[in-house]
Structure 1
Amino acid sequence: MMEEQAKREVVKTPPLKKLRKSFSIFSCYLGEKIDLKKLQENLKKYPYITRDPPIVLKLALGQYAVLTKFGVVTFWNVPKRLREEFIQEISQFVEEFDKNYPYFDTLKVFIGKETEDVKFGKVYLTKIDKEKVQVISFVISQSVALERFEKEIEQRVSELERLIGILRLGKIKKLREKDLLREIGDILAVRQRTISHLSLFDKPETTWERAELERLYNKLFYEFELGDRFDILNEKIRFLADHNKLLLDFISTQRGHFLEMIIIILILIELLIFLGETFLKW
């Protein structure tokens, strides 16, 4: 009797494979930052799954958008047309908005696995909930935002190396002080902007609530190589800081030499005037 009941229970329970669902994730960079407070105050069209950052909105049945403070929005199963419409709707809340930024990433999430894992751009979950949506979206958003800063810092490092190369070859005439100061200003601005945003790349508070969320975050963090990328970025920031100081010292020295030349010229002029007056007296 018990064996027959057990068989009936097994038949009633569908296998995990049939229960498995999947999500296609698309994450893209829109601008410096998203004002989540103003967005929530003004955007009433969509229901909010959670209002704590990163905020999750339901765009349609089974389709979601997750927004972070640092300018990245992550879409879950959202078709391109709806993505474009939503991006246009929130553009007014994005600082330095540009829909054509070339920074984006994709991910596949599968639900209904016996164990949870992350590998080769795919996330396998036993089940899905809003906290896991937040964690997954947060990490891929970190990766996308980090790519923006990586590219920007790399450009400035290349520019700085070009300036140093000119100085090393002694081609000082090619560097006008005004141009040099502008380049240094641009480099410092990028460095400061990057540093100010790095504080936003901390572990999300959600991971402190459940051990499984922290494990998921750590696996995603490793998958996107965020630790190594952070270290490399910080190293380049230190490089910019050190060499900016050298360039500023060079400008200061050049100004010192210029002032010395002016003083010498003034002394010579005064000497000539003195000699001229003395000659006239004779």
Structure 2
Amino acid sequence: MSQASASPLVAPRITARAFFVSERLNMSGLERGDVLATIPLAFRVNANGIAILFRYGVVVLIGLNALEEEEFLRGLEHRMTGKLARRDEEIAIIELAPEKEDQIPPGGPICLQSLSPDRLILIGEALAKSVVLARHEREVASVFDTTEPFARELARSGRMRGSRRSILQNIGNALLVRHRVSGPVEVGEKPDVLWDKPHLERLYARLEDEYELKERAESLNGKLAVIAESAQVLTDIIDTRRSLRLEVIIVLLILFEVLVTIYQLAMGRHS
């Protein structure tokens, strides 16, 4: 990882904002002379800003105003694969406090001893993971909302109403969300910058606690397991319905054959 030592940011209080813009960002050709880091790709923007880009579709912009942010994001649109119709955002206020340790007071800004690129990249990592988790949490919640009526009906009556098509749609929706959430974002993965700057591990641990990254990831994984089980249950119900139909058809065919045989025997006696 290549890294610059000096930060372009000079203001005592700045804003960092993470945007979840697409399923994938194409980073090829973005390497430049003012690069601050390569994994994730971070570089200077305008006079006092920093951009941090993640391949899984998140852009973190630090020290830019709203107009500059929108202009920068528009310039990336041709690099977005699977652009999201609804853009999720996560915001943090960063305050320069040279007399303090790196800390995050309750309800306050993120206080840093210096606005070094290493520290800002760690904040970008935390914001990027948090905004991805937020979107996935919402998607998983929507699956729970659609599967809950099926589960409630099954618990109440022991049967599940609904057509085969509606059940298959719920299975497909559950599997699609599970596939998206189990994507390229490893929340528990250690940021690359910490391998070179181990003294910043305490700051990142505080960021993890502030945004509850590990707890949210564990909760999400638990819900994904429930979604997988729900999809399996719905699949089993469809298979059971199909088996019952086949059994009914077989019984009716046997009954029909018996009736035909009885009729033929009766006609043979009369003749």
- Aligned length in residues: 258
1:79 correspondence with 2:70: no
In 1, Cα distance between equivalents of 2:71 and 2:35: 20
List per-residue Cα deviations over 1:47-66 (Å, max 9, x = no partner).
54235222113220001211
Instruction: Specify whether residues 20 and 216 from structure 1 end up closer, same or farther in structure 2 by C-alpha distance, changes over 3 A only.
Output: same
**TM-score w.r.t. structure 2 length?**
0.86
Instruction: Specify whether residues 99 and 165 from structure 1 end up closer, same or farther in structure 2 by C-alpha distance, changes over 3 A only.
Output: closer
Does the CA contact (< 8 Å) of 2:94 and 2:112 recur in 1?
Answer: yes
* Greater displacement, 232-241 / 268-277: 268-277
**Equivalent position of 2:261 in the other structure:** 274
Runs of 4+ in 1 over 6 A off after TM superposition: none
Show the 5 A alignment for 1:208-223.
208-223=195-210
Does the CA contact (< 8 Å) of 1:49 and 1:130 recur in 2?
Answer: no
**Equivalent position of 2:52 in the other structure:** 66
| Structure 2, gaps ≥5 residues long | 1-9
Compute the displacement of 1:143 (Å): 0.6
Root-mean-square deviation (CA, aligned residues, Å) is 2.3
**Equivalent position of 1:26 in the other structure:** 17
In 2, Cα distance between equivalents of 1:245 and 1:155: 18
Does the CA contact (< 8 Å) of 2:17 and 2:92 recur in 1?
Answer: yes
Compute the displacement of 1:256 (Å): 1.1
- Identity, in percent, stands at 24
Does the CA contact (< 8 Å) of 1:32 and 1:94 recur in 2?
Answer: yes
Compute the displacement of 1:107 (Å): 1.0
**TM-score w.r.t. structure 1 length?**
0.83
Does the CA contact (< 8 Å) of 1:24 and 1:109 recur in 2?
Answer: yes
List per-residue Cα deviations over 1:139-167 (Å, max 9, x = no partner).
01111111000111111122222211223
1:238 counterpart SS class: helix
Task: Give the letter for the 1:274 counterpart.
Answer: T
Show the 5 A alignment for 1:94-113.
94-98=80-84, 100-101=86-87, 103-113=88-98
Does the CA contact (< 8 Å) of 1:27 and 1:144 recur in 2?
Answer: yes
Instruction: Specify whether residues 60 and 221 from structure 1 end up closer, same or farther in structure 2 by C-alpha distance, changes over 3 A only.
Output: same
Does the CA contact (< 8 Å) of 1:142 and 1:201 recur in 2?
Answer: no
Does the CA contact (< 8 Å) of 2:150 and 2:160 recur in 1?
Answer: no
In 2, Cα distance between equivalents of 1:275 and 1:21: 97
Q: By percentage of residues, which structure has more helix?
A: 1
Instruction: Specify whether residues 151 and 194 from structure 1 end up closer, same or farther in structure 2 by C-alpha distance, changes over 3 A only.
Output: same
Show the 5 A alignment for 1:222-233.
222-233=209-220
| Structure 1, gaps ≥5 residues long | 1-18
